[in-house]
Structure 1
């Protein structure tokens, strides 16, 4: 049986960027998200197919950072229980459980993870009016997963397992460099969070689920025609069995279009260790451009300037 969990799913990833207007134009006019609840230097971006109020929040800032990663909980009792457990374990809370003043409201709190990222847990957030994405419509359905870079991925994996109930789905390894990426789940989706070995804490990438293969390919092609820089893809990973095409946003954050991420039978699942020097591990289809150290370095991203500094909103 999966471990007892007090969080249920990934809600949104909040980013601070210096080039706010350029980023806003990218996410709305190129990437396919919808701007809602905008304020001066702050925009909440929704995925048309998702019940979440927003999947990305953009905030104008002189510092490039992850403002926070947000996860959902079942109810306020679970929020309170988790906050109490974290505090008892010595985890630094940024805010005590209380009413949220973001779109949809709700009840939640924030804390710093082991490397100083701000994490939010919330319940009772209002459901957004959303719709079924139509055949051929090449816009994101939902936020699929977030991948973070960590110079101590084993320690970060242990933190999320111990304190938040994440389970390991699969690991990518390199014969000389050791374990390089840990895929972590909080529900039957193969991963909602993954932890990559990197030189510093930062965002590795955020991934957005498309309606299906056709819509995924149409979206990939649309961005290519628009001149958005592609890093890697299109292809299909072995771990998670999902498709991938990675692009750079104007701030240098890596963003992914994906579809068909595995949904696991958690009672029967046993984690694999995959050697990603084997070509079929990175790309089962063999259609993506070859991954090399120069491409990989693009997803190292800039060092996160928000560690152990709570976002102002």
Structure 2
């Protein structure tokens, strides 16, 4: 797409009251690697990813989504995007400058239309990573993030206009209308999706596994460890990816996935899928049905960080 300045999703940062439990979960049963920690803040990498980290945890009194971080190709692109956002009266939290997190880099932060903090950075040092081996059931990389918005189409239009996202597919139903938009910044079907929700909040964070076998082994490990599985295993129609959803110790939904669809952007036309049809939510028919419990857990708690920049 011409004019697109974002390249990929880097990391998702969470503030959590029960920091030790969260760190044990993500660096233990979930399969991430703690690469740095300093006084109530930790950085967790995926072994197969060149990103310095894919999750940041911060100890805080209130649970919130601290920020979502995206990459850009160059300092010039970062500067261009910052200038474009400022001229469109998007509220910048910081001007482009040095990034003071593992791997360094150059970037800035701003609020999206719902008040989430978004970071864009470039020149971050590449982490030494490795190929994930057969039967090694740990995340290869961060796949995508899904965000709840009280005004689905306003949020979609903001991300299209200001950040160059393109619509891949939509979930809808005869009774509820549109409930989710899948958005992309590359040929990956979605690096973000926007869900219609009662309030601004994190819907879920998704992690890519090596393949079907590793995805199933990882899902089984989390289940055996006693963490609540809320939906899956199955395969969605939009994106054609597998899914198993769990709750982390503080009630955030996290997903193992694999085989997310790659598109030909020049020829792709968005579909509108009727998610009241069982095969749309799960082509395989192996997952528990989508129901009120699954939806309620995915709404999450109202985000306490709306239009409040995280302290770090």
- CA shift in 2, pair 1:167/1:3, >3 Å: farther
Q: CA offsets, 1:271-294, max 9 Å, x none?
A: 000000001000000000111112
* 1:240 and 2:239 correspond: yes
- Residue 58 of structure 1 aligns with which residue? 57
Q: Which 4+ stretches in 1 moved above 3 angstroms?
A: none
User: Structure 1 length normalisation: TM-score?
Assistant: 0.99
User: C-alpha separation between the residues in 2 aligned to 1:37 and 1:257?
Assistant: 23
User: C-alpha separation between the residues in 2 aligned to 1:232 and 1:77?
Assistant: 42
1:4 deviates by: 2.1
- Residue 301 of structure 1 aligns with which residue? 300
- Residue 150 of structure 2 aligns with which residue? 151
1:3 deviates by: 3.7
User: C-alpha separation between the residues in 2 aligned to 1:249 and 1:236?
Assistant: 21
- Residue 28 of structure 1 aligns with which residue? 27
Unaligned runs of 5+ in 1: none
Q: CA offsets, 1:140-192, max 9 Å, x none?
A: 00000000000011000011000000000000001111000000000000000
Q: Secondary structure at the match of 1:8?
A: strand
- Residue 94 of structure 2 aligns with which residue? 95
- Residue 44 of structure 1 aligns with which residue? 43
Q: Secondary structure at the match of 2:22?
A: helix
Q: Secondary structure at the match of 2:178?
A: strand
1:263 deviates by: 0.6
Aligned 1:1-313 pairs, distance under 5 A? 2-313=1-312
Q: CA offsets, 1:20-68, max 9 Å, x none?
A: 0000000011100001111010000000000000000000000111100
User: C-alpha separation between the residues in 1 aligned to 2:121 and 2:257?
Assistant: 26
Q: CA offsets, 1:89-123, max 9 Å, x none?
A: 00000000001110000000000000100000000
Q: Secondary structure at the match of 1:77?
A: helix
User: C-alpha separation between the residues in 2 aligned to 1:3 and 1:242?
Assistant: 27
Q: Secondary structure at the match of 1:299?
A: helix
Q: Number of residues paired by the alignment?
A: 312
User: C-alpha separation between the residues in 1 aligned to 2:103 and 2:281?
Assistant: 38
